């Protein structure tokens, strides 16, 4: 702080004014520093939010990967627990890829899925039916006993659902079917 002109500090009034000015200047400097720190904190939060959003997108993509295996054939390897949100993501992603790739067969590999509840089992049935509406045949591969019980427990007619014991068996069946067509 700089003062211009003589100040009589012997008077109480002069010392009080100087103390007030010092306090006001200190408050203004503190406020400016706080505003600057707040702006930096907002930018840091924005960057953290962007990183979190990118990670969430990556996790979403990894949660339901769709792999083109052969012309007209898509594979969807699922690993880990499937909740209703992930099951809906499976249906949405699968249908979009069937349409984009003009797929005729989709193999949903459940080998890495430990168990599903009846709601998710119902979503798997819906996924196979939705694929059929787009002209693709959905095959459930690697169905574990626990998953089979959940699906059977729904009491749905399963005659239209293709299953194979493993991804390898599904691919072998697909190759045999294609050779017979030739």
**Closest listed residue to residue 96, CA positions, set 61, 66, 73, 57:** 66
One domain for residues 68 and 50: no
Indicate the number of domains in the chain: 2
* Residue 37 φ then ψ, to 5°: -65, -40
CA 34 to chain CA centroid, Å, is 36
Residues in the chain: 182
Q: Which residues have CB under 8 Å from 76's CB, separation 6+?
A: 64, 65, 66, 67, 90, 93, 94, 106, 107, 108, 109
One domain for residues 24 and 111: no
**Is residue 1 in some structural domain?**
no
Please give the residue range of the domain that contains residue 31: 11-62
**Confidence (pLDDT) at 96:** 95
One domain for residues 119 and 129: yes
One domain for residues 57 and 126: no
pTM, two decimal places: 0.68
As a whole number, mean pLDDT of residues 34-38 equals: 87
Predicted confidence (pLDDT) at residue 179 exceeds the cutoff of 70? yes
One domain for residues 154 and 164: yes
Pairing verdict, β 73-79 and 105-112: parallel
**Confidence (pLDDT) at 56:** 76
**Is residue 161 in some structural domain?**
yes
**Confidence (pLDDT) at 182:** 67
Dump pLDDT digits (tens) for 37-79. Answer: 888 898 988 898 888 888 877 776 677 899 999 999 999 999 9
One domain for residues 176 and 109: yes
Distance CA 164, CA 182 (A): 23
Predicted confidence (pLDDT) at residue 3 exceeds the cutoff of 80? no
Dump pLDDT digits (tens) for 98-146. Answer: 999 999 999 999 999 988 888 888 899 999 999 999 999 999 999 999 8
**Is residue 29 in some structural domain?**
yes
One domain for residues 39 and 104: no
One domain for residues 114 and 37: no
One domain for residues 20 and 43: yes
- pLDDT category, 8, cuts 50, 70, 90? low
**Confidence (pLDDT) at 11:** 53
One domain for residues 43 and 112: no
**Is residue 163 in some structural domain?**
yes
One domain for residues 76 and 129: yes
One domain for residues 84 and 17: no
**Confidence (pLDDT) at 90:** 92
| Integer CA distances (angstroms), 42 to 37, 46, 48, 63, in order | 9, 6, 10, 31
Range in 2-11, 20-29, 96-105, 133-142 the model is least confident about: 2-11
């Amino acid at each position: 702080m700089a003062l211009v002109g003589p100040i009589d500090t012997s008077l109480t009034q002069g010392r009080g004014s100087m103390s007030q000015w010092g306090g006001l200047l200190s408050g203004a400097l503190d406020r400016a520093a706080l505003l600057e720190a707040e702006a930096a904190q907002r930018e840091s939060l924005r960057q953290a939010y962007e990183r979190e959003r990118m990670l969430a997108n990556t996790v979403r993509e990894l949660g339901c990967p769709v792999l083109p295996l052969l012309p007209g054939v898509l594979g969807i390897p699922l690993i880990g627990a499937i909740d209703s949100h992930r099951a809906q993501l499976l249906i949405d992603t699968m249908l979009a890829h069937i349409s984009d790739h003009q797929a005729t067969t989709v193999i949903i590999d459940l080998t890495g899925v430990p168990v599903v509840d009846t709601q998710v089992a119902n979503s798997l049935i819906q996924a196979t039916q939705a694929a059929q509406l787009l002209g693709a045949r959905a095959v459930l591969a690697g169905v574990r006993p626990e998953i089979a019980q959940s699906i059977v427990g729904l009491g749905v007619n399963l005659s239209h659902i293709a299953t194979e014991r493993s991804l390898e068996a599904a691919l072998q069946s697909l190759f045999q079917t294609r050779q017979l067509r030739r």
